[in-house]
Amino acid sequence: MSPPDTALVPQPSLADFPEFVSIPVRVALNARLFPDKRAAVCEGKTRTWREFDKRINKIARTLAGMGVGRGDKIAILAANSVEYLETFMGGLRAGACVVPLSTMAAADSLEKMLDDCDAKVLFLSDQYRGLVEPYDGRLSKLIAGGRIAYDFKRRGWDDFENWLAAAGDAPFEVPIGQLDDFNIIYSSGTTGLPKGILHSHAMRDLLAVRFTAFDYGPDTISLASTPLYSNTTLVSVLATIGTGGTTIVMPKSDVVKFLEIAQRERVTHAMLVPVQYQRVLAHPDFGKYDLSSFKCKLSTSAPLRAHIKADCLARWPGRLIEIYGLTEGGGSCTLEANLHPDKLHTVGKPGLGSEVIVLDEEGRVLPQGEVGELAGCGQAMMKGYYKQEDKTRDLFWHHPEGRLFFKSGDMGRIDEDGFVVLLDRKKDMIISGGFNVYAADIEVLLLRHPDVIDVAVIGIPSEQWGESPMALGVRRAGATATEEEIRAWANGQLSKTQRLVAVEFRDSLPRSTIGKIMKRELREPYWAGHNAKI
């Protein structure tokens, strides 16, 4: 039975995807073209394309035997592994929509997500059992036999390999349409129910088509060191799988292991988040590793600081591409840092068929150079927030000519050459004495100080101004500058509205698993008891 129409965002016509080949079909094609080449690797466990394809057939056949089919949801809560990749691809081949769940989410949030996404089957690894067991008995939407354990034994849970054992590995295929559901990725909401971002097969297949521009292909050896539930990771992994390359997944991020694997495996591609670039380049032995095999390194999820880009260009072989965009899709920008060393403070130009504009508070388009909220449109746009039509529509901005744009929640401007300068999240913007203060401008300055290696600027309560900027920083090892010295140094170069009321040193700044600084967490202690935008 066909699933209900869940596309809340008007989708392109089927004629707009003339090159569409679903990712599961691409896997089968790769198995025929490169049967003995490695498809997936994790800590010594390897699957050739032939083996990978057969395992995916077994998973799809087993799911189908349970009654899981087109449009049904399966969820995965696990660490990165070959089995995780196989389950993801096997679910897609069965026609299901895959829901990779964040291992950083709280148990109560995960319970809400599992109920919201209507998952019929849950795949779980042992280290995250504690995030499920408190409400296991309330997961009424899981079907009989719908609890699958990767690496533990517990009553009511089927062992993954035993679950698969009876299934044949002959080719299995369910017809998949371009606009069928591919995955739901939940946003990193900290209160209430996070939004489930629903992607189509066509949107995901575009990665295999478009990422050939970044040298992805059959010879690619891609190293994934961030979690598979993150869109950041999936973008690179799906591009690698779709073009017939080899995906090496790390169970968790580790600088030395990353460098060792990159050298040993002659890695050609990696998608890293900014904090990983910072840590890898700062490692004292970085220069001792042979990274000459790299063709392209990508960065996304948060702005990559200009000085880190410059350091990367100087010391790490291969192209450096920064990608800016939303998990929801819409407009995206790319910066080929090697070709534009004078634009490292930007996130590049709109590309891949995208259009980006800047809006004022009333939703009017601003001219080049003025600061406002970025909005974008493009061929790759989500189908909507799953079962949350109102929140989906909150994203919309309609161009007078009829094109639908997604508002990003990011503040920025477009410079005289068409490059996008990213400033702050709209919700993180500091309003001091009625003036808009962008933390990014202050952070860029502070990072020029030789004793500051990481920093976040937040707004804290001020009786006089409403809120004022405060810097929370991490000092370089051996640094001697005091908090007051750094504050005075910065304030001597900042405008009156930007001046810091305080600087405070921390051992580290709280970050998500994909490296985003958690400013809400930093603000909360200062705003406790106040009516504020936290």
Give the domain ranges of the chain: 14-201, 325-424, 429-527
The answer to whether residues 251 and 226 touch, using CB atoms and an 8 Å cutoff, is: no
Ramachandran bin of 513, using left for φ above 0, alpha for ψ from -120 to 50, beta for the remaining angles? alpha
Residue 15 per-residue DSSP state = G
149-153 — which CB contacts under 8 Å span 24+ positions? 149/124, 149/125, 150/78, 150/81, 150/83, 150/84, 150/123, 150/124, 150/125, 150/126, 151/125, 151/126, 152/125, 152/126
Cα-Cα-Cα-Cα dihedral sign, residues 29, 31, 36, 40: positive
| Closest among 419, 436, 416 to 369, alpha carbons compared | 416
3-state SS class at 524: helix
Tell me the CA distances in angstroms from 57 to 52, 70, 96, one per residue in order. 9, 15, 13
Pairing of strands 73-77, 97-100: parallel
pLDDT of 512 reads 81
Smallest CA-to-CA distance from 151 within 120, 123, 131 is with: 123
d(CA 144, CA 150): 17
- Neighbour-count burial for 71-100, b at 16+ CB within 10 Å, e otherwise: bbbbbbbbbbbbbbbbbbbbbbbbbbbbbb
Say which CATH architecture domain 14-201 belongs to: 3-Layer(aba) Sandwich (3.40)
CA-CA distance, 208 to 406, in Å (whole number)? Answer: 23
Q: Other C-beta atoms within 10 Å of 316: how many?
A: 19
Please provide residue 386's backbone torsions phi and psi, each rounded to the nearest 5 degrees: -60, 120
pTM summary value = 0.89
Residue 188: predicted pLDDT: 65
User: What's the rounded Cα separation, in Å, for the pair 207 and 217?
Assistant: 12
Tokens linked to 362: 């009333």
Task: Identify each DSSP E strand in 196-348 by its residue range.
Answer: 196-200, 221-224, 246-249, 269-272, 296-299, 319-324, 333-336
Number of continuous H segments (helices) and E segments (strands) in the chain = 14, 27
DSSP 368: T
Q: Please give the Cα distance from 265 to 166 (Å, whole number).
A: 35
The residue ranges of the chain whose pLDDT is under 70 are 1-7, 188-192, 529-534
Whether 499 contacts 491, CB under 8 Å: yes
CB 436 within 8 A of CB 428: no
Whose CA is closest to 60, among 10, 25, 103?
25
Considering the segment(s) 429-527 as one domain, its CATH architecture is: 2-Layer Sandwich (3.30)
Mention every residue, 6+ apart, whose C-beta is less than 8 A from residue 284: none
Radius of gyration for the alpha carbons in the chain, expressed in angstroms and rounded? 23
* β-bridge pairing 466-475 and 502-505: parallel
Rounded distance, CA 421 to CA 324, Å?
11
CB 75 within 8 A of CB 63: no
DSSP 177-192: -TTSEEEEEE---SSS
C-alpha 167/C-alpha 296 separation (Å) is 39
Cα 347–Cα 184–Cα 180 angle in degrees, nearest 5: 105
- Report the distance separating Cα 71 and Cα 182, nearest Å: 8
Residues in Cβ contact with 48 at an 8 Å cutoff, skipping those fewer than 6 apart? 35, 36, 37, 38, 39
Fold for the domain defined by 325-424: Luciferase; domain 3 (2.30.38)
Instruction: Decide: 487 and 476 in contact? Cβ < 8 Å.
Output: no
Q: What's residue 192's pLDDT?
A: 60
Q: Which of 377, 421, 419 is nearest to 401 (CA)?
A: 377
Note the pLDDT of residue 534: 38
* Residue 382 · residue 9 · CB < 8 Å: yes
- Among 407, 380, 410, 381, which residue's Cα sits nearest to residue 393? 407
Angle of helix 49-65 versus helix 82-93 axis, rounded to 10:
60
Q: What is the pLDDT of residue 4?
A: 41
Q: What's the first-to-final CA gap in the chain, in angstroms? A: 44
> Residue 407: which residues within 8 A CB-CB, separation 6 or more?
359, 373, 374, 375, 394, 395, 396, 397
Q: Are strands 196-200 and 221-224 parallel, antiparallel or unpaired?
A: unpaired
